Amino acid sequence: MKPVLVTGATGFVGWHVARLLVEKGYRVRALVRDPVRLRDLEVEAVRGDLRDRDSVVRAVTGCGSVFHVAADYRLWVPRPEEMYQSNVEGTATLLEAAGKAGVERVVYTSTVGCIGIPDGGEGNEETPVRLEDMTGAYKRSKFLAEQAALEAARKGLPVVIVNPTAPVGDHDLKPTPTGKIIVDFLRRRMPAFVDTGLNVVDVRDVAAGHLLAWERGQVGERYILGGENLTLEQIFRKLQTLSGIPAPKVRIPYAVAYFAGVVSTGFARLTGEEPKAPLDGVRMARKRMFASSEKAMKQLGYRPSAPEGALRRAIDWFQANGYC
C-alpha cells in the first residue's frame, strides 16, 4: 500500500484528517516543520516546508494520494508576503510535485471564505464570487490557491476541493481564530459581541468529509463541509449552557467594532504583537458567513452532526491543556 501524504498534520484540521486515516489503517506520511508537534500520531514524518521545493518533492514521491490541508491561517500578519508564499506558491509547488509523482488523487483543503455569500442568505458552491470580494491576505491567498487547484484539475491532475466552514473541537493547538473565540469566552474576555454569524462544524465531521471527497468526489468539483448556521449570539448562548459562564449581553454597532479594529491593528503595526481585534476579522464580521452543505450531503454522503458535542470537546480540551 502506498502511503498517503497529509500536509498540515500538526494543525487543527490536518491532525484530525491524519488521525482518521491512521484509524482506518492507511499508511500516513506527514510533511512537517517539527515532527514533535505531531502529537502522538503514528505517521512517517518528513521534515520540510511548503516553501522548500526539495522537501515537498521528497514528501510526495512514492505516495498514492495527497491531502493538502496545510495553510497559514491568521487574520493578521506583520508580513503578508509570507502568507502568499505558503498558501499560494506552496500550493502550486505541491500540485506540480503531485503531478510529476503521478499521484492518484489530491484533496485540496480550501475554505468557506472562498465561497460567495449573498446578503441575507446562504452561500453554496455556485454562488458567484471574485478575488475583489475577498477580505484580507488570508482569504485572498486562499482564493488564489483554490484557483490554482481548479486550474490543475482542468489540466488533468485528479484534484477534489473541500471548503470547510468554521470547525471546532479538540486539539485546536494554535488555536484557530474560531477556537480563539471559545478561549476568549472561557477567559471571560468577551464583554460584547457584534451582529454576525458563522457556520459551525465539528472538526471530526470535516475530517470525515475529506475522506468522503477522496473516495467519492468528482475531479475539479468543490464541496462545502459545514454544519449549522449560527449567529455569534447563539454561539455564546450554547457556550454558556455548556460551560456555565455567562454569555455577553451587549451588542455593539459595527462602526464601534470597526474603530476598535483600526486602533488595535494600528498598535500591532507599531509593536509587532498580534492585535486583540484584527481589522480584517472585523471586516469579515460585517457579513454572516452562512453556507449550505447540501451538495456534499447529496454527492458524498456527508452527514454533519449538531455542533454541541464539538463545542463540549473544545471546552474540555482547552481547559485540560491550560488555555483558560
Strand 166-168 with 197-202, pairing: parallel
Catalytic residue check, 138: yes
DSSP string across 241-272:
HHH-PPPP-EEPPHHHHHHHHHHHHHHHHHH-
Alpha-carbon distance of 311 to 318, in angstroms, equals 11
Which triple of cell numbers denotes residue 153?
484539475
Q: Which residue has the cell 491524519?
A: 18
Judge whether 108 and 150 are in contact, CB under 8 Å.
Answer: no
Segments in 90-168 forming alpha helices (H)? 90-101, 136-154
Strands 192-193 and 250-251: parallel
> Nearest 5 degrees, angle CA 249-CA 254-CA 256?
85
- In the set 73, 84, 108, 138, the catalytic residue is 138
Catalytic residues, by residue number, are 138
